[in-house]
Structure 1
Amino acid sequence: MMTWRHVTPRDFPLLAQWLAAPHVARWWNHETSAEAVERDFGPSARREEPNEDLLALLDGVPLGLVQRSFWHDYPEYVREMAPTMAVPPRAMTIDYLIGDVADVGRGIGTRMIRSALEHLWAEHGDAECVIVPVHADNIASWRMLEKAGLVRVAHAELEPDNPIDDRRHHVYRVDRPTA
């Protein structure tokens, strides 16, 4: 069973371990020192930041991380997306990772994204859609989104998370399910 909880400071060593794993580091390109993890995840853990960092737990065991936020809480990203598409006022986005490489390629990530979306719709009744840009070369990530029901709606030129990448991104979207 997949459950969710907000990241707390006691999770920071686990996040550092996951962020250092080669399959995550390639796409997240994140510093993994204790100071860097505190700097980047501490404000969310203390609820000082409008985004939410959530741990996915499978049968009580940490599986991965999902970050979610409303696009318009980060106007610089809305401006960057503007040449490609208009972002609706109550659109959200997610970012995600599977922590252990042994869990990659087994369908667990698709389950995590589906569960994350169900959780998002339940907790954010005002969210109208989820829009997720993914680097075009991150095939596993965008295939996971497709399997979870998101649809590719655009191609965008966006700043990559990893400076070794070019600006090519696929943009995926799913609208709130109707009753």
Structure 2
Amino acid sequence: MRIGFRLLMAGDLPLLYEWLQREHVQRWWTDRETYDEVVQHYLPTIEGNRPTDLYLILSDDRPAGFIQTYRVSDYPEYRELVAVEDNVAGVDLFVAELELTGRGLGSKALSRFVVDIIFSDPEIHACIADPDAENLASLRAFEKAGFRVVRRFVDPNDHDRLHALVRLDR
């Protein structure tokens, strides 16, 4: 399985919308959004108007999932919630293709993405994520990629659900 990444483009929004409707993605990722809401949410970022970088995860050159990264300090409310220092990146991802779940794609994509994309910025010294504390598959993927659980916290922006803050230092 060859893993790669490419920036998400406006032409990918129908695919992203379709992925976000899948039960195994929707359960952990977001409330159901209409296609127009997905466009409103992601298009400004694609156009460079928000400080997040959006990518497709490619497995053998075929779109298989979504991954995004950002400097935590660019989102002050979130930074306060997770209580991290400057020069820390955040990462979020999902494997969209059900037949590729449970096969190590998430952890392999994370490992490669952190090295190739996130830590290619010499100022970034750590990477965090905050999967739902009940999402054991996601927690295992982060742990396999070298992240460690730092603490658990209730996220008021996610229906007061319990999340696990995971971290990987350079």
Q: Secondary structure at the match of 1:173?
A: strand
Paired amino acid for 1:57: L
**Given the two structures, how large is their TM-score scaled by the length of structure 2?**
0.93
Of the three residues 162, 170, 173, the one matched with 2:167 is: 173
Q: Is the 8 A contact 1:18 1:24 kept in 2?
A: yes
What is the aligned partner in structure 1 of residue 14 from structure 2? Answer: 13
**Aligned counterparts of 1:28 and 1:63: Cα–Cα separation in 2:** 15
Q: Cα RMSD over matched residues?
A: 1.5
Paired amino acid for 1:174: L
Q: Return the offset for 1:94.
A: 0.5
What is the aligned partner in structure 2 of residue 119 from structure 1? Answer: 116
Q: Identity, % of aligned pairs?
A: 30
Q: Describe the superposition over 1:7-60 as per-residue Cα deviations: whole angstroms up to 9, x where unpaired.
A: 101000110111000000101124442211111110111111101111111121
Q: Is the 8 A contact 1:17 1:32 kept in 2?
A: no
**Given the two structures, how large is their TM-score scaled by the length of structure 1?**
0.88
Q: Describe the superposition over 1:130-156 as per-residue Cα deviations: whole angstroms up to 9, x where unpaired.
A: 011121111111111001110111122
Aligned length: 169
Q: Is the 8 A contact 2:82 2:165 kept in 1?
A: no
What is the aligned partner in structure 2 of residue 147 from structure 1? Answer: 144
What is the aligned partner in structure 1 of residue 102 from structure 2? Answer: 105
Q: Return the offset for 1:92.
A: 0.6
Q: Return the offset for 1:114.
A: 0.9
1:77 aligns to 2:71 (yes or no): no
**Aligned counterparts of 2:4 and 2:30: Cα–Cα separation in 1:** 27
What is the correspondence of 1:22-171 to structure 2 with a 5 Å cutoff?
22-82=23-83, 87-159=84-156, 161=158, 163=159, 166-171=160-165
Paired amino acid for 1:64: G
